[in-house]
Structure 1
Amino acid sequence: MNDGLRPGDPARLGGYELLGRLGEGGMGSVFLARSPQGRRVAVKVVRAELSHHDEFRGRFRSEVNRARQVPPFCTAEVLDADPDHEPPYLVVEYVDGPSLVQVVRDQGPMTTTGVHGIAVGVATALTAIHGAGVIHRDLKPANVLVAPGGIKVIDFGIARAFEATSQHTRTNQMVGTVAYMAPERFETTTGNPVGPAADIFAWGAVVAFAATGRTPFEGESATATAMRILTQPPDLTGLDGPLRALVSRALEKDPADRPTARELLDGLLTTASPSGDAGRLPNARAAVTPGAAGAATARPPADAAGDGDAPDPDPGAAERRRRRRRLVGLVAGAVVVAALVPAALFGSDLLPDGTGSEPAGVGSPAASATTAGAPTPGGSPSTSPASRTPSRSPSATADRTRAMLAGQRRLLLHVVQADRDLSLPFDGELTVGDGTGRDALFVLEPVGVDYLIKSVNPDISHRPCLGVKLDAERNASLVGTECEPTAATMFGILREGKDDKGRTSYAIVSDRYGLVQWDESRREIYVQELGDAPIDTTFSLVDRGAV
């Protein structure tokens, strides 16, 4: 709602004309504004007491840059920001639609179809947000907008800059609404960073609110609500069917027991199918054991040395994974999963810069109907975003990069910060080397919006794919493992910039386990939990010929 400007409100910020107030929040005030091009936008102005902190401005700048990496199809796109302005401000897409709070207040709890749409839309947004290395931190119904084009999640990412600074300026201040905070958010003395699992907890509380009109840990005061979150099971009365099981999993006290955003989507798409184990999700804790590459199914994973295959007590798991990939390719036109129609936009962040880097028709129904590597109705893999016909003639470099991302070329994974290349010898222990020999040759195999990273070393027959391994202290590293799409073997390839030779550089990230990083002091590759981890390590793809 536009309330007009108050006395003392600025008339302009930078090149933006302020038209009225949209609301106020913990970080500052939000204004409806007009851009120099005449577009309506939302401008968030930071509180004056925060703008005097150099720490805040630095964090604000960092978080804005990372938030720009989030695909905009189900979030309010970050358009502009000026951390050095007095006061600092952030400009995002203006979404003309009510919040989930307004919808439930005006119409009451949503129908089953409406709740499922909210669940899918917010899970899709979290998949995009987490895939860009961002954690929302303040997901709640007020930050979920029910727009004409689909569900939009707003105010993501920037909360970390505010939270880190406000802890030094206000006693016991933290970002977020208590009713949607995960238990670990209250454990401020441990020093453990808040991870993506906190957003998953908030997702469960948001979906429960949409279905019931109340929060699942509702108490008479903020303190009582916090105590219920820490000690009591959620009250999900009024939420029935397969979705209840997914929400219950998301509201587990232990972050390790919650699914990832991608796994939520898997479960939601399965519940949308008339057959299959509706609502079942793999046990997150059982998926990873010390010394094993974790799997996203309930089957105990084979150990990193590949000592045989255990029988699968859940024979439907593989079929559900296949069904999910089929559904992702067919969602254009499906009402209950309409928020996923633009899923092909994930691919736009995986393409090289420069001429011809954007696939033709991205965002259109035709382009969105088949995502990267998703099987077509006939069962054959569809063309990935990296290999679709471009709208302009690409350069030879762009052509080769597309082919590498489509799994058509062998490549070196060059660690930009170390000026070395990943190498997977026959023993399955990942090292770095000089890029010579067949140990250093890999191919990217697209599976949906993610990739398997597969060695083409013929000496490795049983463990040719890279996967995450946890040791007894739960430190994560990369090793060779079997090439089955699981939470531990699927990686996002996110464009970050250019290396010193002008090649496009990428971050490699696991949805569940975090960023692939280079430890300069120990001279080894490891995996760092997403949390507050900056992207310190990037990789460039060096073409080494056709597969």
Structure 2
Amino acid sequence: MGTVFLGRSPDGRLVAVKMLRAEHAWDTEFRGRFRSEVNRAREVPGFCTAAVLDADPDHETPYLVVEYVDGPSLSEVIRERGPLDGGTLHSVAVGVATALAAIHGVGVIHRDLKPQNVLFSLGTPKVIDFGIARALEVTSRHTRTDQMVGTVAYMAPERFDNDADRTVGPAADVFAWGVVVAYAATGRTPFWADSPAATAARILTQPPDLTGLDGSLRELVGRTLAKDPNERPTAYQLLDLLLEAETGGSLAQRPELLRAAEAVQHTGRVPLSDVREPAPPGRQRMTRLVAVGAVATVVCAGIGFALSRHDVDEELASFAPSSSPSAPAASGKSRIQGPGVSDRLDRRGLWKADRASGSAGGWCTFDERMLATTHDSVLHRCRGPQDLFAGDQTIGVDVGIVTKGACALVWFRSVDKRGYVASFCENEVRLGLDESAGNGFNSEQRVAVSAFRVGQTHRTGITVQNGTAEVTVDGKPVLSMPVTDPQLVSGRVVLGALNDASQGDATVAFANVDLRSPVAGQPAHFTDPTTGSSQSVVRLYSYDPVAHSAVAEPILLMDSADYCKQFKIDPADIKCSDPFQVVESRTKVTIPVRSAPKLTSWESAGGWEGVVSVRAGTGQSISASKFTKWLAGKEEGGLVAVTTTGGELTTLTRIDQF
């Protein structure tokens, strides 16, 4: 197709910029078709699709701008984890079918559906590049008669027709759906052969090999792989059949996916005869540009192998709990909406203890603070959250040197043990690009400082803004450097220890860590459960009765009418017809829990009524084992109403309606 760049929109959001191949630029017919296809692609609702945000067909090199999906493709997931099964496989099948129904519902045909075009961001499946292949394929067929756009293994038989431009319709995408699902279930395509030509021959003449695919899904995949496109179900029929065939309650555990699929069932449904050819360039219907900062539409969620969440709307701000006064604050006009993490590090929570694992290289333990110790290795990393931070960010953490010769390390934008790192030692602070699997620095800067004496604690900060990282100690800048590596635009924040003396064990201490992405737009006010006394609702990820801690994300439950009014959403939007909306802060916190807290369960015989106003203490008492068993079954966390007293959880009420 061309070259894809990671870009930043004027309001700071990360986007994918697709620059099409230069040889297409001279073709005026291509520009017209490209313009038409992009205009229609903008109409596709955001049900499991990556939005087309902007395009310029008249640029010297035509390009389009699409939503940036920061996650692996389905092909990468299968390659790394193996074939999918059970509820996870069924959810992927439903998610991709939902996307196809949304795409076909506005008269667009994908033409290049394959595992590489199904991406996951925090577990959310999104189909990309819909509609664009058509414009490229027409140009290719005019310039080279033997060239097609697409991957042979996923092409329907009619794609090989000499007049495929006239005969290919939505049924070709349904065929590709069958191949994608078969691949997800078995790790291979059903017409696989040694060469593309042999694969094409099998697609045209042989039945599919569906060995390893069982049950109702096998029958449905077989129907979508019929040679005759008229014998295949439409995308809407496919989605209906998938929802009817759902067993085991897998979709009940993924309410957002279910709501998205049901919403698509009641929208669009353009008849096959209305899937239209592109209009001539001068007669194209004007469509509204999808703004980068628009309120998020319903998305699919709940894939079983990863976290997935209904992302907070772009115009909402992230939760901002109290932190040390000297923690760095976001500044400037950056508007990236990203995750947040806050942990006192006085107990197991977002960061884990690992001494019991028997690692000879070192360990991390908790004793009113987190202690990182090297043993037989030069350095040791503590196991912490997997959240990825892109663009501007701030990091604040209390650092103490426990033993002589020890250095505290803070990696940021860390990917596979490569990333930027700040080192806080007794006599100097260092900042550099760590390119040697964590054992050294490149492009290193150092500054002498006498602040880090053994036994003392200081507030350290790292602020990444406008391509520059600045390190502070107790609020005072000490050094900075550009952060311009194109392969490190996002990554994890990791805490650890370095033995700078090269003898004996080396120990450092961390406390009160606070990781932030700059917020965007009008703030939404979330209750901070880590301070004061309050009642609120959170998404609970873990409850550790031994460490007396819980990992949770503050959220808001809002009546949909109030939600749409507050955030200026068209009342006709599908969101406004739902009973309620979940607004997420995208910030995870570790909350202290009182010994033997009150555990209850809230159930409403009246259905969804009352769920918005549910508060802790309104449910029926349940046992600790029943509560923890329920939470263990929530792959993406369960919604829990909590009561806190003095920043300590005293009551947890599970909300079973979710």
Under a length normalisation based on structure 2, what TM-score does the superposition of the two structures give? 0.41
Higher strand share: 2
Q: Report 1 or 2 for greater relative contact order, CA contacts < 8 Å, sequence distance ≥ 6.
A: 2
Higher helix share: 1
Q: Which has the larger radius of gyration?
A: 2
